[in-house]
């Protein structure tokens, strides 16, 4: 499998994603510059975290119109796999490739810390092989990560089993106290209806190396390989 990591002006987690995929998972990875029009034959595209275009206007709103996004959107509409992490998730929402929006954190502050996630779906490439009772420790680093959508769309997300992760505590309890940014129903990640586009605010690529003392993120990323490699 060949992965492509898109680099926008202001991306700062592109190297993290490349390292996790290449060194920790042993995969072929290329960087894709935002002005390019060629996905270089990549099977799986990743939009990394960071502050693309300085988060001016609205996080992800400008990046959504970068030249390469025409090819990224076409790739997704053909059924190709696409994942947005943190700022990448914001870009997916702006491009309407995943439902919902990401608003300012409920405390109006930037939050950078380890949190816990609980898988919510067994019908997704990213979560099907995960222990559904386990709390995965994954870092977050965002100011605009509060997932929100209207009530009809929320019902549809639940009915269609499109919610990938919810914020929980270390014991796997999904509660208001564990809802670090105030996201609707503790939602930390979702997929599209076709289940080939995945968005999540936490950073699995930052928890994929033993040197970091945490490999829970590697377990999440390995789910892709278990099916597609």
Residue 205: active-site member = yes
Considering the candidates 86, 93, 168, 191, report the single residue annotated as catalytic. Answer: 86
Burial of 208 (0-12, 13-18, 19+ CB in 10 A): buried
Residue 86: active-site member = yes
Answer yes or no: are the C-beta atoms of 214 and 97 closer than 8 Å.
Answer: no
**Pick from 185, 200, 64: which is nearest to 141 by CA?**
200
Please tell me whether residue 14 adopts helix, strand or coil conformation: helix
Beta strand segments in 34-126, E: 44-47, 81-85, 101-103, 111-119
C-alpha dist (Å) from residue 218 to 86, 117, 121: 16, 14, 18
Beta strand segments in the chain, E: 2-7, 28-33, 44-47, 81-85, 101-103, 111-119, 136-142, 146-148, 163-168, 187-191, 197-200
Residue 75: active-site member = no
Residues classed as catalytic: 86, 203, 205
């Amino acid at each position: 499998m060949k992965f492509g990591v898109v680099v926008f002006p202001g991306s700062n987690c592109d190297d993290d994603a490349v390292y996790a995929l290449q060194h920790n998972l042993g995969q072929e990875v290329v960087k894709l510059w935002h002005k390019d029009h060629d996905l270089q034959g990549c099977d799986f595209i990743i939009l990394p975290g960071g502050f693309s275009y300085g988060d001016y206007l609205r996080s992800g709103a400008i990046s959504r119109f970068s030249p390469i996004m025409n090819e990224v959107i076409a790739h997704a509409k053909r059924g190709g796999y696409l994942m947005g992490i943190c700022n990448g998730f914001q870009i997916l929402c702006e491009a309407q490739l995943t439902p919902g929006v990401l608003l300012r954190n409920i405390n109006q502050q930037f939050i950078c810390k380890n949190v816990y996630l609980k898988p919510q779906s067994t019908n997704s490439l990213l979560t099907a092989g995960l222990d559904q009772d386990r709390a995965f420790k994954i870092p977050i680093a965002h100011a605009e990560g509060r997932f929100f959508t209207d009530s009809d769309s929320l019902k549809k997300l639940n009915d269609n089993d499109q919610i990938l992760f919810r914020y929980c505590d270390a014991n796997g309890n999904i509660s208001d106290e564990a809802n670090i940014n105030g996201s609707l129903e503790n939602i930390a990640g979702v997929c599209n209806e076709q289940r080939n586009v995945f968005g999540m605010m936490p950073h699995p690529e930052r928890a994929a190396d033993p040197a970091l003392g945490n490999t829970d993120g590697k377990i999440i990323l390995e789910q892709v390989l278990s099916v597609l490699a």
